[in-house]
């Protein structure tokens, strides 16, 4: 990012951060004086959105604001994301037109191995990969904050983390969403007294007026703010984490923490022509499955329009749902078979993104009849936790961030490392716990996503941009395996020219190849649509709740206007502000 408007108060602090050379994204930084002066933040909690906006007012850029927003989310959404988890960050520098993907996904500990969750008879040990310290991968959130602040930010990390430290130290009032998710994970939280003491009230779900105070977390955030990455991954905080994990039967070591590094990867970038207009999508590469799957779905829509005379843009109702479900089905088939951590397995990215490949796999899509997933080939399935958070940011210079962060299931592993305030993730469950062997449903786990030391589990997190010459969208959402289709549907609202509020609020449906059903939000399909889809051969399953929590921003460059929206299903907020 271009370092603009850095006030003199912070110059010495920035110089002290590091003498290391910075990345290409910061090398050409100059003040163009041509910013659009509007900025926006959309996040899953009002306190987080406010923290990000405050940082922009203090001279921070989009990357500083994203850190501040994410850090507050780590405090106020312990059920979704936190310092004990990780995530993916998509960063774009408007002046240099460079985009970077920061992979801060958790890693398997050094002592992890393929069969670590199996008993001596080869059977899965119930809950071992879900609850407690054995379920936790080495967290990447703190490393992401330190890396992004050092390489791309305008402000020192201590400034960006100040609001999060304050909310952890002084507390905040919980809301209804907190209560719902605490009740869902109540038994697990009760199993670990250190977690129950912080996140429950008298060992039960807190009342709505309860103020959640996390003084140990404030100390951990302060250590990170003052000492950078080493303040978290080395020294007293690291020792407390490892001692607590090992005392409870976990396998973390100090070496695991010291070796953790984020990875900068090339994002998945692809272009399409739909309804006579060109679009560019930039999204997450492996170990995310999102960018490739989204690209494949758009490639198939383009191929259907150009080669098979089936135009998505001319369809509506059941016909549109059917067609989109068919492209979802095929993308998720490839996701289950080929995707994993590209540092460990060979992902056939070029083949999967090839336009001719999209033409081939879409040629048997028929408007009048559903394909059976079993007809696509061998059956494999990927299981994934579903609780995550997302934030979208654009600053007054057009620099932007789309970041999706997670601890996997609500409240992660439910295990809190004593003395640190860190609620640990259970992302190890995102690996194939027992690949190659059919489960009770006859589904076979993905070998490419098998457990290995220092490997990152496959994820659906899909922070993304979609753009034309005159408009740019920043988009993402939580939702486990449904993330990809939610982002895809939101992007299609953008393609239709609908306002940002429609992207985040539209009714959602989902097909992930297996199980072979269209899942849909409660009351989101009409009786006529349901009957028509069944006539085409689809099975349907109504999800008895709303899902997802999309946060999105639209920059209309032609009219120099920004709009933003937070998903009405959540408690988040989106705000556009003029920055001086």
* Residues ≥6 apart with Cβ < 8 Å to 15: none
Cβ pair 149, 64 in contact under 8 A? yes
- Torsions phi, psi for 374 (to 5 deg): -60, -25
Cβ pair 441, 514 in contact under 8 A? no
Question: Distance between alpha carbon 524 and the CA centroid of its chain, in Å?
Answer: 24
* Residues ≥6 apart with Cβ < 8 Å to 465: 90, 92, 99, 281, 282, 283, 400, 402, 472, 473, 474, 475
**Residue/partner pairs of 531-534 with CB below 8 Å, 24 or more apart:** 532/317, 532/318, 532/319, 532/322, 533/318, 533/321, 533/322, 533/370
For the annotated binding site for L-glutamate, the residues are: 105, 406-408, 430, 459-460, 480
Strands 380-381 and 444-445: parallel
Instruction: Look up residue 262 and give its two tokens.
Output: 């984020």
Our CA dihedral for 493, 496, 501, 503, rounded to 10 degrees, sits at 0
Our CA dihedral for 519, 521, 524, 526, rounded to 10 degrees, sits at 40
**Residue/partner pairs of 467-471 with CB below 8 Å, 24 or more apart:** 467/279, 467/280, 467/282, 468/277, 468/278, 468/279, 468/280, 469/278, 470/556, 470/557, 470/558, 471/554, 471/555, 471/556, 471/557, 471/558
Instruction: Look up residue 369 and give its two tokens.
Output: 């009849």
What is the distance between the alpha carbons of residues 124 and 261, in angstroms, rounded to a whole number?
30
Q: What angle (nearest 5°) sits at the alpha carbon of residue 553, between those of residues 549 and 559?
A: 155
What is the distance between the alpha carbons of residues 476 and 574, in angstroms, rounded to a whole number?
13
Q: What angle (nearest 5°) sits at the alpha carbon of residue 410, between those of residues 405 and 414?
A: 110
- Measured from the Cβ of residue 136, the count of other Cβ atoms closer than 10 Å reads 32
Cα 409 to Cα 130, 511, 565: the distances in Å are 8, 21, 25
For the annotated binding site, the residues are: 105, 406-408, 430, 459-460, 480
**Among this protein's residues, is 404 annotated catalytic?**
no
DSSP states of 415-465 as a string?
A: -EETTTTEEPP-GGGGSBSSBTSB-TTS-EE-GGGB--TTPPPPB----EE
Cα 251 to Cα 123, 260, 337, 434: the distances in Å are 20, 15, 30, 19
What is the distance between the alpha carbons of residues 25 and 93, in angstroms, rounded to a whole number?
7
Q: Which of 435, 456, 430 is nearest to 445 (CA)?
A: 435
Please, which residues bridge with residue 273 across strands? 278
> Quick one: the chain helix, strand, coil %, rounded to 5?
40, 20, 40
Write down the catalytic residue from 159, 220, 388, 477. Answer: 388
What is the distance between the alpha carbons of residues 470 and 532, in angstroms, rounded to a whole number?
38
Length reported for the chain: 580
**Residues forming the active site:** 388
């Amino acid at each position: 990012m271009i370092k603009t408007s850095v006030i003199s108060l912070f110059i010495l602090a920035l110089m002290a951060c590091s003498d290391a050379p910075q990345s290409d994204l910061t090398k050409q930084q100059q003040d163009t004086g041509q910013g659009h002066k509007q900025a926006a933040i959309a996040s899953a909690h009002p306190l987080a959105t406010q923290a990000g906006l405050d940082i922009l007012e203090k001279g921070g850029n989009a990357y500083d604001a994203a850190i501040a927003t994410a850090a507050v989310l780590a405090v106020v959404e312990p059920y979704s994301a936190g310092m004990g988890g990780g995530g993916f960050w998509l960063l774009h520098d408007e002046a240099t037109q460079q985009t970077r993907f920061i992979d801060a996904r958790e890693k398997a500990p050094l002592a992890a191995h393929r069969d670590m969750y199996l008993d001596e008879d080869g059977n899965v040990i119930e809950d071992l990969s879900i609850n407690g310290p054995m379920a936790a991968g080495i967290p990447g959130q703190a490393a992401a904050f330190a890396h992004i602040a050092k390489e791309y930010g305008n402000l020192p990390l201590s400034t960006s983390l100040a609001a999060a430290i304050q909310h952890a130290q002084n507390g905040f009032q919980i809301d209804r969403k907190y209560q719902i998710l605490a009740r869902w994970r109540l038994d697990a939280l009760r199993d670990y007294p250190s977690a129950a003491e912080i996140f429950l009230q008298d060992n039960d779900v807190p009342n709505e007026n309860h103020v959640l105070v996390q003084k140990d977390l404030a100390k951990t955030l302060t250590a990170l703010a003052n000492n950078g990455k080493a303040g978290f991954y080395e020294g007293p905080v690291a020792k407390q984490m490892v001692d607590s994990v090992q005392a409870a039967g976990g396998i973390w070591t100090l070496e695991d923490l010291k070796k953790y590094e984020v990875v900068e990867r090339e994002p998945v970038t692809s272009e399409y022509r739909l309804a006579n207009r060109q679009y560019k999508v930039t999204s997450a590469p492996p170990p995310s499955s999102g960018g490739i799957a989204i690209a494949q779905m758009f490639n198939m829509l383009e191929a259907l329009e150009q080669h098979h005379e089936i135009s998505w843009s001319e369809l509506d109702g059941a016909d549109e749902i059917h067609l989109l479900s068919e492209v979802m089905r095929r993308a998720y088939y490839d996701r289950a078979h080929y995707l994993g951590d590209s540092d460990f397995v060979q992902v056939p990215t070029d083949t999967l993104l090839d336009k001719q490949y999209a033409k081939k796999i879409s040629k048997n899509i028929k408007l009048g009849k559903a394909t059976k997933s079993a007809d696509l080939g061998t059956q494999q399935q990927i299981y994934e936790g579903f609780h995550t958070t997302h934030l979208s940011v654009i600053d007054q210079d057009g620099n932007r961030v789309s970041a999706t962060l997670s601890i996997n299931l609500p409240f992660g592993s439910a295990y809190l490392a004593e003395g640190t305030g860190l609620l640990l993730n259970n992302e190890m469950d995102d690996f194939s716990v027992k690949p190659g062997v059919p489960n009770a449903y006859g589904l076979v786990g993905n070998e490419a996503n098998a457990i290995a030391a220092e490997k990152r589990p496959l994820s659906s997190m899909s922070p993304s941009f979609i753009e034309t010459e005159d408009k740019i969208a920043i988009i993402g959402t939580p939702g486990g395996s449904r993330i990809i289709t939610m982002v895809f549907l939101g992007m299609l609202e953008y393609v239709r020219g609908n306002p940002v509020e429609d992207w985040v609020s539209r009714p959602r449906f989902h097909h992930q190849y297996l199980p072979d059903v269209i899942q849909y939000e409660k009351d989101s399909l009409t009786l006529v649509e349901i009957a028509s889809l069944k006539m085409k051969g689809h099975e349907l399953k109504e999800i008895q709740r709303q899902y997802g929590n999309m946060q999105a921003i639209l920059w209309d460059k032609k009219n120099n206007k920004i709009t933003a929206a937070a998903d009405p299903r959540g408690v988040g907020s989106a705000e556009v502000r003029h920055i001086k």
